[in-house]
Amino acid sequence: MMPLGVPKDLENRIGYHFHNQALLKQALTHSSFSNEQKINKKPHYERLEFLGDAVLELVARDFLYHKYPQMAEGKFSKKREAMVCEASLALCAEDLDLGNFLLLGKGEESDRGRIKASIIADVMEAIIGAIYLDGGMEPAKAHIYRFILSDLEHKTLFYDSKSNLQEYIQKHLKKEFHYELVGMSGPEHDKIFQVEVLMEGVRLGSGQGRTKKAAEQKAAYEALLGFKAAGKELNSCI
């Protein structure tokens, strides 16, 4: 798949228009693409990712410090880690469809680089770094609040949904449960996995994803939402 219109389409999605367009293009350029260029080699996103990681860390810590003034340090750290971990950033990147905007080398392209959580999470941080360099802290902070720190309760529940589900069931139900692969679809290079989470033969939730791990995470999240809808207390998990 070729990248979509770069960078205007993405600028419209994120709600920020760059003064220096080269920064956004760099944030979307993987090292594999850069390394394939024989002349006019383009800079890749790793330096921007390094900067964006630091900006995100500061904004997330400041947000949590002021939002939860009575929270103990241990739980504070756990919530922060859930917010900025690879899985959480990849989820936010999927909402923006970042994978379709990437510039990848041929090898990374064939290795499904556009949907790798590790890559799109890094690009999410690189875009934060690019916005920070282009416009300063305020637009970078606004971007983080809009796409990473919004709807925090449900995102926190999703980010660590497998651990949250295990903790809830062990504490309140004290029963065994497991994940089961129930189906696969699509071509070999682009499979979709369908997974169910079961407890004593009863389906608690189902999910699909491009990896079994992603499908399990979504199944666990659906199970947690089911418990929440039934009036179960999930505060201990989040």
Q: In what order do the strands lie in the sheet with 178-185?
A: 178-185, 192-199, 202-209
Distance CA 199, CA 134 (A): 51
* Residue 53 is a catalytic residue: yes
**140 neighbors 131 (Cβ within 8 angstroms):** yes
* 81 CB neighbour count, 10 Å cutoff: 13
Q: Examine the residue annotation and report whether 11 is marked as an active-site residue of this protein.
A: no
- As given in the structure block, the two tokens for residue 135 are 């416009």
- Six-digit token pair at 222? 């659906």
Kindly give, in sequence order, each residue whose CB lies less than 8 Å from that of residue 96, ignoring residues fewer than 6 positions away. 10, 13, 14, 124, 147
**Token code pair at residue 177:** 């449960």
Catalytic residue among 49, 108, 122, 125, which? 125
Q: Are 49 and 125 in contact (CB under 8 A)?
A: yes
Catalytic option among 53, 108, 134, 160: 53
d(CA 235, CA 237) in angstroms, rounded, equals 5
Instruction: Give the catalytic positions in this structure.
Output: 53, 125
